[in-house]
Chain A
Amino acid sequence: MSEKMTYREAVRLGISEAMEKDERVFMMGEDVGRYGGCYAVSMGLQEQFGPQRIIDTPLSESAFTGAGVGAALNGMRPIVEIMTVNFSLLALDQIMNNAATLLHMSGGQFNVPLVIRMATGGGKQLAAQHSHSLEGWFAHIPGLKVLTPATVQDARDMIGLALADPDPVLIFENALLYNAKGELDTAAAPLPIGKALVHREGKDLTILAYGINLFKALEAAETLSKEGIEAEVIDLRSLRPLDDAAIMASLRKTHRVMVVDEGWKSGSISAEIMARINEQAFFELDAPMGRVCSMEVPIPYAKHLEDAVIPQPDKIVAMARRLMEAI
């Protein structure tokens, strides 16, 4: 069964399906209840499931994330919503020092089956404090899984995948995607966590992207195709674990690779991916690896500046042309 819906609706569908299936699942966060969530993802869910399962919390990321850790330890299946990734730093102690470490520190006795959803990314003129892309930071932390659904299908499927995982899973939803529409196959089996997906086949170069940049990469690939350059576009889907096998397999085909990452370049997930390629597939490279990242400034408010700072299809095209030329 296939139906068309927005990314927002797909996330909501994923949550409601999970809540219907498992009584232990509940969601909490700022404005998720009566207001319907700041991106209207949970609109109507409180009416459906009641204030016991869709819980409005005080403005204290550390407190309600910590409560989520406690609930998970006690057998519940909490979904914690943090409005944007910027605010997640207030809960970093709970995420990293508790959620990510407890399984190890308890000698394997305590899993923390916590799911944290948050909006990420720029492009909505929300200025620096609401626009950053820090998912690469979280991908640095052992003990966490970091998912970046790009498609409507993943927006829905990843909620269920994350809840089924016995350990903490962070889901980063790019805020620009909420209004995007796509096809959802309700009957399809979800693609497991840790698998990347080839969205477009190509022989000349590999573009690795995730989240909204998947679509920018596909647009760039379209342009490149008119120039006779066939780009293979891969949705990473998961930043931790990374699907090394899929990355290297594509590289073995194209011998050129670039990463599109909305994080800042220095110390980014793109840097990690390039390092892994160097370690695992150096001799497949036929050109230096390339990457398109955000400029290393706080994301500006002004639209033209914001557009200039974050990755765009034309920058991806330019980088691809560079890779195709000689070194």
Chain B
Amino acid sequence: MSEFKMPSLGADMESAVLMEWKVKEGDHVTKGQVIAEVETSKGVIEIEVFETGVVEKILVEEETECAVGTPLALIASEGEGREEAVAEAAAEPEKVPPQPEPPSKEEPLKPEPQEEERPAAEPAERVKASPAARRKARELGVDLAALAAGSDRGIQLDAVEAAAETAAKAPEADGMRQAIARAMSRSNAEIPHYYLSTSVNMTPALAWLAALNAKRSIKERILPAALLIRAVVKALEAVPELNGFWQEERHSISKTVNPGIAIALRKGGLITPALLSAETMNLDETMHSLDDLITRTRSGRLRGSEMTQQTVTITNLGDLGVERVYGVIYPPQVAIVGLGRIIDAPWAEGDALSVRKVMQATIAGDHRATDGRTGALFLERLDHFLQNPQELL
């Protein structure tokens, strides 16, 4: 028996509105099943249950705003009787669903030694703010946690009012901007980055892809983006040290590869939802999943796990004409892969000079977790797969 709690779906999230239950009391649910939709500042997100069992009791009605960590429902494990389950839940209010693997993004903001045993969704760290500041923040919609970041001093009224004024002047400083601001500030402050770049001759890969697509219907065609993601995933399988986390002074490598794909939203802002278990997908499945992920991101229907379980990030600013991207690692990840625009460039092979499709691939690595050599190996593998695209099928 356990409590299904409001998960934390981002560093800036303190609460969310439970919009819709997808299950009712008595329903059988399986691990990973979407059982509710919640609305956060990032849009409507589907949230999944972490264990298989039966929905014993729904504790929160639809359209209720709940703080992170609020119990939403009681889930009985299989075979557990209803009465006994409810009694047990009452007796053991602390019992929580198992932690999904890997841990969510914002956990390093409040590091604890035993990640695996921690509750999935714990209330955000207590923000030190005066009562007047708290009320004002609520009135003006100011995120106290964002204000508190990086400050040991308590937040007072004037700081909230100033923040509200700044926000009014600069409307883009919304919750998402602030979440990004916080994560990136932390990244630059804490993570010693190393940067490597290499030029990749994309001509073979693009020619191969064109040939492949020529035999297919429009619907079945593969975009270069999917090919690139597939290549990155394969390269990460070869160099797994870059696919994981740096937490508690410890480097842990993730078994699954969940690349966070930077996707721009139409209304502005940027989300990097995860392409979950990308290592299990072939090229077609990667294409299909990417398509699905982009569609759902832009319609605001992401799942909680996609928001929290990224193991590495891929940023591709090529469509904006940028030739080379040096990324800032999203903590606690240890690497970010940057892919630039594919341009026609002079290319020397042997004694001959020719024009080729060239892309700059970069990697920014966390120097605490890995060395430049690891990054170099990764780029070498990435290049290898793009020179031998048939291996990506």
Q: Report which A residues bind B (CB closer than 8 A).
A: 255, 282-287, 326-327
Please state if B133 and A286 are interface contacts (CB–CB under 8 Å): yes
In the complex, given contacts A285-B130, A286-B130, what are 20 additional A-B residue pairs having Cβ atoms less than 8 angstroms apart? A255-B130, A255-B132, A255-B157, A282-B131, A283-B132, A283-B134, A284-B131, A285-B131, A285-B132, A286-B132, A286-B133, A286-B156, A286-B157, A287-B156, A326-B153, A326-B155, A326-B156, A327-B128, A327-B153, A327-B156
B135 within 8 A of A: yes
B269 within 8 A of A: no
CB contacts (< 8 Å) of B130 on chain A: these are 255, 285-287, 327
Per the bound structure, the CA–CA distance linking A327 and B148 in Å amounts to: 13
B154 within 8 A of A: yes
Per the bound structure, the CA–CA distance linking A141 and B156 in Å amounts to: 37
Per the bound structure, the CA–CA distance linking A255 and B156 in Å amounts to: 10
Per the bound structure, the CA–CA distance linking A157 and B375 in Å amounts to: 86
Which residues B81-138 have CB closer than 8 A to chain A? 128, 130-135
Per the bound structure, the CA–CA distance linking A285 and B134 in Å amounts to: 10
CB contacts (< 8 Å) of B132 on chain A: these are 255, 283-286
CB contacts (< 8 Å) of A282 on chain B: these are 131
Which residue of chain B is the closest to A288 with respect to CB atoms? Answer: B130
CB contacts (< 8 Å) of B154 on chain A: these are 326-327
Number of A-B contacts (CB under 8 A): 30
Instruction: State how many angstroms separate the Cβ of A228 from the closest Cβ of chain B.
Output: 14
CB contacts (< 8 Å) of A285 on chain B: these are 130-132
Interchain Cβ contacts under 8 Å between A and B, 29 examples: A255-B130, A255-B132, A255-B157, A282-B131, A283-B131, A283-B132, A283-B134, A283-B135, A284-B131, A284-B132, A285-B130, A285-B131, A286-B130, A286-B131, A286-B132, A286-B133, A286-B156, A286-B157, A287-B130, A287-B156, A326-B153, A326-B154, A326-B155, A326-B156, A327-B128, A327-B130, A327-B153, A327-B154, A327-B156
Which residue of chain B is the closest to A255 with respect to CB atoms? Answer: B132
Q: Which of B131, B135, B154 gathers most chain A CB within 10 Å?
A: B131
Per the bound structure, the CA–CA distance linking A255 and B155 in Å amounts to: 13
Per the bound structure, the CA–CA distance linking A283 and B156 in Å amounts to: 12
Which residues B125-174 have CB closer than 8 A to chain A? 128, 130-135, 153-157
Which residues B354-393 have CB closer than 8 A to chain A? none
CB contacts (< 8 Å) of B128 on chain A: these are 327
CB contacts (< 8 Å) of A283 on chain B: these are 131-132, 134-135
Per the bound structure, the CA–CA distance linking A285 and B133 in Å amounts to: 8
Which residue of chain B is the closest to A284 with respect to CB atoms? Answer: B132
Per the bound structure, the CA–CA distance linking A189 and B203 in Å amounts to: 98
CB contacts (< 8 Å) of A255 on chain B: these are 130, 132, 157
CB contacts (< 8 Å) of B131 on chain A: these are 282-286
Instruction: State how many angstroms separate the Cβ of A96 from the closest Cβ of chain B.
Output: 36
Per the bound structure, the CA–CA distance linking A287 and B128 in Å amounts to: 11
The 4 closest A-B pairs by CB, nearest first: A327-B154, A326-B153, A286-B132, A286-B130
Which residue of chain A is the closest to B160 with respect to CB atoms? Answer: A286
Which residue of chain B is the closest to A325 with respect to CB atoms? Answer: B153
CB contacts (< 8 Å) of A327 on chain B: these are 128, 130, 153-154, 156
CB contacts (< 8 Å) of A287 on chain B: these are 130, 156
Instruction: State how many angstroms separate the Cβ of A289 from the closest Cβ of chain B.
Output: 11
Which residue of chain A is the closest to B129 with respect to CB atoms? Answer: A327
Which residue of chain A is the closest to B132 with respect to CB atoms? Answer: A286
Q: Which of B128, B132, B154 gathers most chain A CB within 10 Å?
A: B132
Per the bound structure, the CA–CA distance linking A285 and B136 in Å amounts to: 11
CB contacts (< 8 Å) of A286 on chain B: these are 130-133, 156-157
Per the bound structure, the CA–CA distance linking A48 and B314 in Å amounts to: 99
Instruction: State how many angstroms separate the Cβ of A247 from the closest Cβ of chain B.
Output: 15
Which residue of chain A is the closest to B135 with respect to CB atoms? Answer: A283
Per the bound structure, the CA–CA distance linking A325 and B131 in Å amounts to: 15
Instruction: State how many angstroms separate the Cβ of B126 from the closest Cβ of chain A.
Output: 13
Per the bound structure, the CA–CA distance linking A255 and B136 in Å amounts to: 12
Instruction: State how many angstroms separate the Cβ of B138 from the closest Cβ of chain A.
Output: 9
Per the bound structure, the CA–CA distance linking A305 and B95 in Å amounts to: 58
Q: Which of A285, A286, A287 gathers most chain B CB within 10 Å?
A: A286
Per the bound structure, the CA–CA distance linking A207 and B157 in Å amounts to: 19
CB contacts (< 8 Å) of B155 on chain A: these are 326
CB contacts (< 8 Å) of B134 on chain A: these are 283
CB contacts (< 8 Å) of B135 on chain A: these are 283
Per the bound structure, the CA–CA distance linking A327 and B132 in Å amounts to: 12
Which residue of chain B is the closest to A281 with respect to CB atoms? Answer: B131
Per the bound structure, the CA–CA distance linking A283 and B135 in Å amounts to: 6
Instruction: State how many angstroms separate the Cβ of B361 from the closest Cβ of chain A.
Output: 47
Instruction: State how many angstroms separate the Cβ of B154 from the closest Cβ of chain A.
Output: 3
Which residue of chain A is the closest to B156 with respect to CB atoms? Answer: A286
Which residue of chain A is the closest to B153 with respect to CB atoms? Answer: A326
Instruction: State how many angstroms separate the Cβ of B144 from the closest Cβ of chain A.
Output: 13
Per the bound structure, the CA–CA distance linking A285 and B157 in Å amounts to: 9
Per the bound structure, the CA–CA distance linking A134 and B154 in Å amounts to: 36
Which residues B169-217 have CB closer than 8 A to chain A? none
Per the bound structure, the CA–CA distance linking A88 and B155 in Å amounts to: 47
B237-274 CB mask vs A (1 if < 8 Å, else 0) is 00000000000000000000000000000000000000
